[in-house]
Amino acid sequence: MAAEKSERLLNLLIMLLMQQRYIAKDRVREILYPGSSDEAFERMFERDKDDLRSLGVPIEVGQLDAYFDDEPGYRVVPDELQLPEVDLTAEEAQVVALATKVWEHARLAEATSDAARKLSAAGVAVDVEALDLVEPRLGAEEPAFDVFWEAARDRQVVAFDYRRPGAAVARRVLEPWGVVRYSGRWYAVGRDRDRDAERVFRLSRVQGAAERVGEAGAYDVPPDVDIREVARRLAPAPAPTLRATLLARTGTGHRLRRAADRVEAGVAGPDGTTGWDRLGFDAAGPDLASDVLGHGSDVVVESPADLRDEVVRRLRGLAGGAA
């Protein structure tokens, strides 16, 4: 039920965000709440709007026609949307948190495109470019990501080979509760069947192909479990925070600028022009390297040297893969 509600919230957010004009309540009901009674629709729609607003989504209400006092319409103005840090239950995280944080992941990107196509097919005017507002810089490169994410969704056991630092490869069997990103890494969180205890497994250390075994719905997730808290408690401590200085072309790197505690405008850049700004802030290493790469040639690292070397290493790896 939680997953169904979370999916409905995500669809409602996408629908309101992609509107070029206000959309009538009847159209929302027709597309997202088909088959519901009048009473059930009013109850779910009001609750869903309240839930989105509690997450920081500014739902705007206005008249569909300026010359007639008709029913109100709804939309979300992209420029006014700025989502706060959100803590979700395990099932909500599967649909909402992963869908937004891993937008570039092929399966979730396809689901979002499907939602846009359905809205267009229903005659709703949509603005696809509005989705760029929440375009992330994170990816899910680990081959095991799909298996663990889908198994957690379906409550299905996963068997896999796992290598811990300094130890031999061992076979593990996990009842996954969810997949979470912590300290720049993806972890599967759940109950280790052999040890009968909660465990976290870094997906990049899974050896070979992970395998879903048994039937779906084979176990229940403990009530009120917080997979992020479990990851914080059991995963290795985050990398030390480092002081970083970046150069960003004027008018670019907005996500980095929001995190910066110091901005020096009009400095000389690597191309010899002064159309650059110097950004200074504290940030953990792995994620910052990904953010820098996500901005292409518009952002370069001044310091520290370790961060610059990591960006160069990844660029060389991409270049080698392309070749």
pLDDT of residue 138: 42
- Closest residue by Cα to residue 203 from 175, 182, 228, 219: 182
Co-location of 265 and 310 in the same domain: yes
Other CB atoms within 10 Å distance of the CB of residue 85: 5
Token readout for 173 is 């069997």
Co-location of 75 and 129 in the same domain: yes
Co-location of 247 and 228 in the same domain: no
Q: Choose between 139 and 57: higher pLDDT.
A: 57
User: Is 139 part of a structural domain of the chain?
Assistant: no
Q: Which domain holds residue 177?
A: 145-234
Co-location of 183 and 112 in the same domain: no
Domain boundary among 234, 267, 296: 234
Range with lowest mean pLDDT among 26-40, 131-145, 146-160, 194-208? 131-145
Instruction: Give the whole-angstrom CA distance, residue 188 versus residue 202.
Output: 7
User: Is 64 part of a structural domain of the chain?
Assistant: yes
The sign one gets for the Cα dihedral 234, 236, 237, 241 is negative
Check pLDDT > 70 for residue 141. Answer: no
Domain boundary among 205, 234, 263: 234
Co-location of 122 and 81 in the same domain: yes
Co-location of 222 and 265 in the same domain: no
User: Is 21 part of a structural domain of the chain?
Assistant: yes
Q: Choose between 276 and 94: higher pLDDT.
A: 276
pLDDT of residue 80: 62
pLDDT of residue 22: 81
pLDDT of residue 213: 94
State the residue for tokens 């290795």: 236
Are residues 61 and 72 in contact, defined by beta-carbon separation less than 8 angstroms?
yes
165 pLDDT band, cuts 50/70/90, is confident
256-298 per-position pLDDT tens digit: 887 788 889 889 988 888 899 999 877 554 567 777 887 888 8
User: Is 76 part of a structural domain of the chain?
Assistant: yes
Are residues 311 and 289 in contact, defined by beta-carbon separation less than 8 angstroms?
yes
Residue 250 belongs to a domain with what CATH number?
3.30.70
- pTM for the model stands at 0.42
pLDDT of residue 321: 54
pLDDT of residue 162: 95
* Top-ranked range on mean pLDDT: pick from 6-10, 121-125, 217-221, 308-312: 217-221
Per the structure, how many domains does the chain have?
A: 3
Torsions phi, psi for 67 (to 5 deg):
-100, -5
pLDDT average, residue stretch 84-104 = 49
pLDDT of residue 174: 96
191 pLDDT band, cuts 50/70/90, is very high
Domain boundary among 186, 205, 234: 234
199 pLDDT band, cuts 50/70/90, is very high
pLDDT of residue 171: 96
Co-location of 108 and 161 in the same domain: no
pLDDT of residue 258: 77
- Closest residue by Cα to residue 189 from 94, 284, 290, 85: 94
Range with lowest mean pLDDT among 5-19, 65-79, 246-260, 300-314? 65-79
pLDDT of residue 75: 83
Residue 158 belongs to a domain with what CATH number?
2.30.30
Co-location of 155 and 230 in the same domain: yes
Q: Choose between 152 and 254: higher pLDDT.
A: 152
pLDDT of residue 289: 77
pLDDT of residue 262: 85
Are residues 231 and 199 in contact, defined by beta-carbon separation less than 8 angstroms?
no
pLDDT of residue 166: 78
Co-location of 207 and 119 in the same domain: no
Co-location of 83 and 30 in the same domain: yes
Check pLDDT > 70 for residue 102. Answer: no
On average, the pLDDT of the chain sits at 77
User: Is 149 part of a structural domain of the chain?
Assistant: yes
User: Is 140 part of a structural domain of the chain?
Assistant: no
pLDDT average, residue stretch 190-213 = 92
Instruction: Give the whole-angstrom CA distance, residue 266 versus residue 102.
Output: 34
pLDDT of residue 1: 44
Instruction: Give the whole-angstrom CA distance, residue 125 versus residue 211.
Output: 42
The sign one gets for the Cα dihedral 93, 96, 101, 104 is positive
pLDDT average, residue stretch 23-42 = 87
